[in-house]
Homo-oligomer: A and B are copies of this chain.
Amino acid sequence: MQWRELETEPCSLARALAVVGDRWTLLVLREAFLKVRRFDDFQRRLGIARRVLAQRLGGLVADGVMEKVVYQERPIRHEYRLTEKGLALHPVVLSLVHWGDAHYAGATGPPVLHRHTVCGHDFRSVLTCSVCGEPVDARAVEARPGVPS
């Protein structure tokens, strides 16, 4: 399997990775979830080459994960906002951050704390089942083909 074939592979993970399976792309998304919107702010915070950043943001816009919106008319200025499809990546980014917290935080603790504004507490993310609401353990999941082949 070559990377250019990933988009057509019958696996949702492979298709998802064709869109966000790049470290810079995931770091750009992290910044977007921290409410960064402007090209120069992404650039400064990530220390990323402008050409690479333009490429990644352009890809995310092309894939409908972010949208480029005019926020000022004279001179014209754009910012990048997560679309609903982009916001739906939040569980991926947050799960990966919390996994990093659990295994790489070191003695000083997590570098970033997340507060759930609904209940007002710092929290960890817990993946649960949409049907029964219980936490989902990897050992309690059975996978089977969904499309007759």
A interface, CB within 8 angstroms of B: 1, 3, 6, 10-17, 20-23, 26-27, 30, 33-34, 46-48, 64, 82, 85, 87-105, 108-119, 121-134, 136-147
- Let me know if B88 and A115 touch, CB within 8 A: no
Report whether B99 and A16 are in contact in the complex, using a CB–CB cutoff of 8 Å: yes
Q: How far is the CA of A138 from the CA of B12 in the complex (A)?
A: 22
Contact status B91-A125, CB under 8 Å:
yes
CB within 8 Å for A140 and B128 given contacts A23-B3, A26-B13:
no
Query: Which residues of chain B are within 8 angstroms of A130 by Cβ–Cβ distance?
Result: 123-126
| B residues near A145, Cβ cutoff 8 Å | 111-113
Which of B21, B96, B109, B136 is within 8 Å of A147, CB to CB?
B109
Selected A-B contacts with CB under 8 Å, 18 pairs: A11-B111, A12-B101, A12-B104, A13-B93, A14-B100, A21-B26, A82-B138, A90-B138, A94-B141, A95-B127, A111-B146, A112-B144, A114-B142, A116-B140, A117-B140, A125-B128, A126-B127, A126-B128
Contact A104 B15 (CB under 8 A): yes
Chain B residues contacting A12 (CB-CB under 8 Å) are: 96-101, 104-105, 110-112
Q: Are A129 and B123 in contact (CB under 8 A)?
A: yes
Q: Contact between B129 and A126 (Cβ–Cβ < 8 Å)?
A: yes
Contact A142–B124 (Cβ < 8 Å): no
Q: Which residues of B contact A134 (CB under 8 A)?
A: 116, 118-119
